[in-house]
């Protein structure tokens, strides 16, 4: 028996070929069947569902290509510090106070914020992944989950075994919405031998690897001093160029790194707000786009970025890049809007599943209103979306054709309960004793 068809009408729908005016998107079994131009869609059958978004624009849902969702619990608790003491003296001690169940609530809180911002897929690196997976399952969103792996704790082998076990149990779960990768934290919290073992495990499991790479100048200098190669060079040295790789940050790239991308195309998660706020620098975004690298945008965790508003992330990626290069033209708004959806999907090899509104892809769709104060008049939709809009413009969110959010209401998550629990846990985490 075929499932009922959903017809999503909007003022205009953004497809890989541009906006289709007055389009109707035909959705069946959670997938886009076809995008019909104005007046061309067939008449719906009585059992069909119609979602008429009126003046809203329909866009592909955003892909947050790097975050630590549960860090939502640590918003604003230790700002304005260098990365090293911030991580070791503040974040890690607070995380050590997390109790079972806290990560579930923290991830739920992040999901409220991500859904309201139009993020339909997120790429997470954290621990207690069964709790993260539960939040994904109940929220209806899509995710790529990776357990953070470090060797400095002395539990590296055990953590890798747990991550492999999580992959076997969870890959493809939540009706295919959960993908699991392995996620060694960074070259400076692991060893080359361990990274090599992670790569071997990933290839044996048939999955990818997500890692923080070249975030600070010091990280690159230390890696060169210790191993004679940059962090990206180290990836190739230990064989991590032989399975899908997602490199979060890629701020400090050498000429050799850029040259290596001629025959190696790792995904890159660009986190402009976190990088700028932590004073780490700015990834060479325009250059990476010129090289046609699979480039996605990420928020990083709220402990460093303070917000999961993906519209802020888009703005920061342009402002930061132009501030760093002095070039007022690149990257442009259309490139960054593309990176926010299709680019992120490509960076984690989900481009055959999501990231665009096209036949055969999941109906991961967002309705955005460009009406109201601060948005009108709209001379150029892409310009207004990227340079003027905030998350408040997002009115409708669907994943796999299922409504998750409509006009400020969460249809799968209990906003009141989640915010109350998150506030309570947050207070405990930063308590002095």
Q: How far apart are CA 308 and CA 419, in angstroms?
A: 15
Q: How far apart are CA 405 and CA 350, in angstroms?
A: 23
Nearer to Zn ion, 76 or 374 (CB): 76
Q: How far apart are CA 118 and CA 385, in angstroms?
A: 12
Nearer to Zn ion, 56 or 64 (CB): 64
Least Å from the CB of residue 140 to Zn ion: 24
Least Å from the CB of residue 427 to Zn ion: 24
Helix axes 156-170, 192-205, angle to 10 degrees: 20
Nearer to Zn ion, 127 or 405 (CB): 127
Q: Count of residues binding Zn ion (CB under 5 A)?
A: 1
Ranges within 269-328 binding Zn ion (CB under 5 A): 300
By DSSP bridging, strand 295-297 and strand 267-270 are parallel
Q: How far apart are CA 398 and CA 59, in angstroms?
A: 11
Least Å from the CB of residue 399 to Zn ion: 23
Nearer to Zn ion, 20 or 149 (CB): 149
Q: How far apart are CA 190 and CA 306, in angstroms?
A: 27
Q: Which residue has the tokens 């402990």?
A: 303
Nearer to Zn ion, 111 or 211 (CB): 211
Least Å from the CB of residue 251 to Zn ion: 12
Contact 167, 144 (CB under 8 A): no
What are the tokens at 214?
């070249």
Running DSSP on this structure, what letter comes out for residue 216?
S
Nearer to Zn ion, 23 or 297 (CB): 297
Nearer to Zn ion, 131 or 300 (CB): 300
Contact 199, 210 (CB under 8 A): no
Query: How many C-beta atoms lie closer than 10 Å to residue 322's C-beta?
Result: 17
Least Å from the CB of residue 294 to Zn ion: 18
Query: How many C-beta atoms lie closer than 10 Å to residue 346's C-beta?
Result: 24
Q: Which residue sits closest to Zn ion, CB atoms considered?
A: 300
Least Å from the CB of residue 126 to Zn ion: 10
Least Å from the CB of residue 125 to Zn ion: 6
Contacts of 426 (CB under 8 A, 6+ apart): 73, 74, 75, 77
Please tell me whether residue 257 binds Zn ion under the rule CB under 5 A. Answer: no
* Contact footprint for Zn ion (CB under 5 A): 300
């Amino acid at each position: 028996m075929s499932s009922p068809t959903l017809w999503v009408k909007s003022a205009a729908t953004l497809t890989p070929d541009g906006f289709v005016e007055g389009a109707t998107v035909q959705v069946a079994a959670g997938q886009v069947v076809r995008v019909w131009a104005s007046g061309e869609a067939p008449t719906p059958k009585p059992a069909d569902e119609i979602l008429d978004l009126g003046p809203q624009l329909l866009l592909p849902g955003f892909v947050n290509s790097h975050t630590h969702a549960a860090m939502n619990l640590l918003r604003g608790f230790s700002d304005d510090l260098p990365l090293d003491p911030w991580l070791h003296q503040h974040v890690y001690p607070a995380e050590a106070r997390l109790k079972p169940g806290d990560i579930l609530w923290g991830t739920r809180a992040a999901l409220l914020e991500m859904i309201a911002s139009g993020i339909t897929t997120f790429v997470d690196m954290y621990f207690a992944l069964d709790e993260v997976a539960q939040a994904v399952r109940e929220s209806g969103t899509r995710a790529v989950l990776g357990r953070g792996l470090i060797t400095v704790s002395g539990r590296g082998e055990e953590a890798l075994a747990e991550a492999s076990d999580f992959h076997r149990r969870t890959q493809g779960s939540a009706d295919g919405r959960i993908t699991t990768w392995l996620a060694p934290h960074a070259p400076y919290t692991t060893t080359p031998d361990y990274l090599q073992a992670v790569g071997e495990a990933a290839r044996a499991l048939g999955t990818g690897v997500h890692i923080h790479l070249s975030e600070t100048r010091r990280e690159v200098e230390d890696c060169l001093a210790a191993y004679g190669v940059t962090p990206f060079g180290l990836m190739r040295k230990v064989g991590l160029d032989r399975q899908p790789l997602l490199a979060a940050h890629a701020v400090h790239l050498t000429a050799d790194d850029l040259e290596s991308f001629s025959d190696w195309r790792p995904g890159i998660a660009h986190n402009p707000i976190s990088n700028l706020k932590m004073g780490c620098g700015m990834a060479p975004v325009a250059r990476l786009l010129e090289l046609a690298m699979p480039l996605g945008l990420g928020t990083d965790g709220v402990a460093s970025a303070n917000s999961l508003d993906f519209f802020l992330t888009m703005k920061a990626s342009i402002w930061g890049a132009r501030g760093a290069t002095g070039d007022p033209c690149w990257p442009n708004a259309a490139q960054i809007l593309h990176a926010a959806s299709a680019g992120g999907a490509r960076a984690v090899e989900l481009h055959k599943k999501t990231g665009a509104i096209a036949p055969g892809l999941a109906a991961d769709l967002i309705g955005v209103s460009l009406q109201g104060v601060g948005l009108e008049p709209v001379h150029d939709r892409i310009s207004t979306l990227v340079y003027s809009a905030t998350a408040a413009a997002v009115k409708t969110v669907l994943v796999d054709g299922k409504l998750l959010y409509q006009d400020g209401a969460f249809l799968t998550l209990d906003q009141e309960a989640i915010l109350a629990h998150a506030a309570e846990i947050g207070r405990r985490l930063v308590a002095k004793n």
